[in-house]
Structure 1
Amino acid sequence: MEHRDKQGVLLVNLGTPDAPTPAAVKRFLSQFLHDKRVVDLTRWLWCPLLHGIILPLRSPRVAKLYQSVWMDEGSPLMVYSQRQAAKLEAKLNLPVELGMTYGNPSLLSGVQSLLARGVEEIIILPLYPQYSGTTSAAVFDGVSKAFKQLPVIPAFSLIHDYHAHPQYIEALAESVRAHWDEHGKGEYLLCSYHGIPKRYADNGDVYPMHCERTTLLLGQALGLTEQQIGMSYQSRFGREEWLTPYTDKTLERLPTEGIKRLDIITPAFSADCLETLEEIAEECKESFLGAGGEMFHYIGCLNDSDSHIEMMTSLVARYR
């Protein structure tokens, strides 16, 4: 019993700018895009491009997009992450702290907060259902870097992924059913996942396999045929080929195939953020309706829903 009392959970997500301003966005994007897990190009080639062109051009534009989704309490991703941490702590009766791979609160500050609360063993839960080197492995790198600054490394466990966990699949299915009950059922359910360069998958990243498995299991849970559910990849960046099919191209194609009423969900995102609230719910809606679609419904992330917190509780319980 004494051992259990010394456990704590570090809940990890990607991170978010501190404010919807060009300066804060630039700081955040600089840290994010400097990570070799995210962009593996040679530094002497990438850094001048990043600082000379990409950050000066993108930061003001991205800041405006953040302004369009910013909530009273702050960035949507941070607001939902804080709610998740509070609910999970109440459910587990264990210390739970947030740590973001990029931005604040940092992974180091999350670890230090847990240690300050008497935690001796940390269960690290990256909120990435599908494993990718660009996300899950970046968490491990970041935690390792944080541990280097501590006199004693705490015992720790890292939850690898949960792309096929029955409670995760059921939580997704429950959110879709609830949406259908309220808004009616579309002709097609599109699962849009964050993309990664195709080269990463060719080199062994299992991410696309995990995304395909999640989609398959969700379709089975909802009783959908292959003609009623599909998947695509969003948020590509740069000129090289990313995982296909692309979400934007898929949305332009579906109305030409007779699918006019669409539901879209983002299973790789555990909290609503810029990529879901602006890119999917706004930009993609425009694309679909502009291509001849008639109804477009975005189904929100699991956020701090009870079923999502229950699933997290089950993941952590395996390490207690």
Structure 2
Amino acid sequence: MSTGVALLNFGEPERPTRETVVDYLERIFYANADIEGETTEAEARERSRQLAQRRAPALIEEYEEIGGSPLQSHADAQATLLERELRDRGYDVTTYVGMQFTEPFIEDAVERARSDGVEQLVGLPIYPLCGPSTTVAALEELTDAIEAAEWDVDVSELTGWHRHPGYTRARADNVRSFVETQGLSLEGDARLVFSAHGTPQYYLDEGSRYVEYVEEYCEALAAQLGVDEYELGYQNHENRDVDWTEPSIERVIETVDADRVVVEPVSFVHEQSETLSELDVELREEALEAGLDFYRVPVPYDDEQFIDALADLIEPFTGGFEPGYYNLRQCQCRDAPGAFCLNSPRTR
């Protein structure tokens, strides 16, 4: 049976023109309009446009500083490597990249898969730590796109997968390799700092377990690295007057008791503006002002172990065996038939 794997992602403009950046931001703000309370569709769209126009100049400056976002090229590379690995395992698989907020959109990925005549489709959001505005929203868009296309296809979904041991091992090995290359140690006068993408408190109040996932993942990663003491901060985007996750990564850097910090961006599986600008430029400046030497671990987006872990997640569906054999169970964050994750508790 031929299988299409839709790799779902956030997206970022590769070329920072004002039009593309404003459109990109407007889509994001509109998709998350609920966090500001009830409103009409027209009011939400107008508010989103205003926020986008206000935020755009600073974001364009960030993109220009880093030479545009490499997220798309990294996502394409991951898709190619994953398809190759699954084919090497003997499966008839084609991968498709679909973005929530930039082209190619998720609906474009669905259309390409349909045109290719795949017999089953697997949706895999490339967000290891499951959140409502990322993982869940991307899969909802996938469902909407399939229904809009009136496509009768067998669909499976994968949500939270940060507990995959191969993925955790890949990130730990990547940190270890970076530290050794830089001639550093994670003991003594250096402090390991995990930086996670923040989320509005609204989603946590609504029941999202995102912070729990972040905290348990950081604990496991630190344990694999043999680190007892570490810090965790959140990269918050406070463009609206709403509460976000605490502590912020800036607050952590201001208060950390060390001579140097090694920052591991745990939420990210591509280099993008949040790593290349927010961390490498803005947070570096904060660290230097606080008298700290600053080191940021590169994202292992094309690491062989990482690609192997993604292939493992897909394999039960391409191989036609029970997902539970790989500890995939019915997702609780995405309560829909055929949605599986590694986070759900085992039931008898």
Q: Where does residue 185 of structure 2 map in the other structure?
A: 185
Q: Where does residue 231 of structure 1 map in the other structure?
A: 232
The residue type paired with residue 19 of structure 1 is R
Q: Where does residue 92 of structure 1 map in the other structure?
A: 86
Q: Cα deviations across residues 85-117 of structure 1 (Å, max 9, x unaligned)?
A: 111111112100100111110111111112222
Q: Where does residue 173 of structure 1 map in the other structure?
A: 172
Quote the offset at 1:37 in angstroms.
Answer: 7.3
- Residue number among 66, 76, 79 corresponding to 2:73 in the alignment: 79
Alignment CA distance shift 1:267-1:308 (3 Å) = same
Q: Tell me the C-alpha RMSD between the 2 structures.
A: 1.6
Q: Where does residue 313 of structure 2 map in the other structure?
A: 315
Alignment CA distance shift 1:273-1:251 (3 Å) = same
Q: Where does residue 68 of structure 1 map in the other structure?
A: 65
Alignment CA distance shift 1:40-1:305 (3 Å) = farther
Q: Cα deviations across residues 182-239 of structure 1 (Å, max 9, x unaligned)?
A: 00224111111111112321221010000011101101111110x2x22111133223
CA contact (8 A) 1:17 1:103 kept: yes
The residue type paired with residue 191 of structure 2 is Y
Gaps of 5+ in 1: none
CA contact (8 A) 1:164 1:217 kept: no
Query: Aligned partners of 1:40 and 1:110: how far apart in 2?
Result: 31
Is 1:21 the counterpart of 2:20? The answer is: no
Q: Where does residue 211 of structure 1 map in the other structure?
A: 214
Alignment CA distance shift 1:132-1:303 (3 Å) = same
> Secondary structure at the residue paired with 2:317?
coil
Query: Aligned partners of 1:159 and 1:83: how far apart in 2?
Result: 20
Quote the offset at 1:81 in angstroms.
Answer: 0.5
Greater shift in the superposed pair: 184-193 or 245-254: 184-193
Q: Cα deviations across residues 247-306 of structure 1 (Å, max 9, x unaligned)?
A: 01111111xx2x11110011111111001110011100100110121x110101121111
Query: Aligned partners of 1:37 and 1:165: how far apart in 2?
Result: 33
Is 1:198 the counterpart of 2:198? The answer is: no
Aligned pairs for 1:206-285 within 5 A: 206-225=209-228, 227=229, 229-237=230-238, 238-254=240-256, 257=257, 259-285=258-284
CA contact (8 A) 2:23 2:52 kept: no
Quote the offset at 1:46 in angstroms.
Answer: 4.3
The residue type paired with residue 88 of structure 1 is L
> Secondary structure at the residue paired with 2:300?
coil
Query: Aligned partners of 1:134 and 1:208: how far apart in 2?
Result: 14
Query: Aligned partners of 2:126 and 2:98: how far apart in 1?
Result: 11
TM-score relative to the length of structure 1: 0.91
Gaps of 5+ in 2: 88-92, 319-348
How much identity, in percent, do the aligned residues show? 25
Q: Cα deviations across residues 35-87 of structure 1 (Å, max 9, x unaligned)?
A: 147745333454433323x222211221121112235xxx3100100111111
Query: Aligned partners of 2:36 and 2:144: how far apart in 1?
Result: 18
Q: Where does residue 136 of structure 1 map in the other structure?
A: 135
Alignment CA distance shift 1:240-1:152 (3 Å) = closer
Quote the offset at 1:319 in angstroms.
Answer: 1.9
Query: Aligned partners of 1:206 and 1:65: how far apart in 2?
Result: 31
TM-score relative to the length of structure 2: 0.84
CA contact (8 A) 1:17 1:27 kept: no
CA contact (8 A) 2:33 2:48 kept: no
Query: Aligned partners of 2:224 and 2:52: how far apart in 1?
Result: 42
Q: Where does residue 155 of structure 1 map in the other structure?
A: 154
Quote the offset at 1:18 in angstroms.
Answer: 4.7
Query: Aligned partners of 2:206 and 2:35: how far apart in 1?
Result: 14
Aligned pairs for 1:44-63 within 5 A: 44=40, 46-52=44-50, 54-63=51-60
Q: After the TM superposition, which parts of structure 1 deviate over 6 Å for at least 4 consecutive aligned residues?
A: none
CA contact (8 A) 1:21 1:60 kept: no
Greater shift in the superposed pair: 20-29 or 43-52: 43-52
Query: Aligned partners of 1:62 and 1:236: how far apart in 2?
Result: 11
Quote the offset at 1:31 in angstroms.
Answer: 1.1
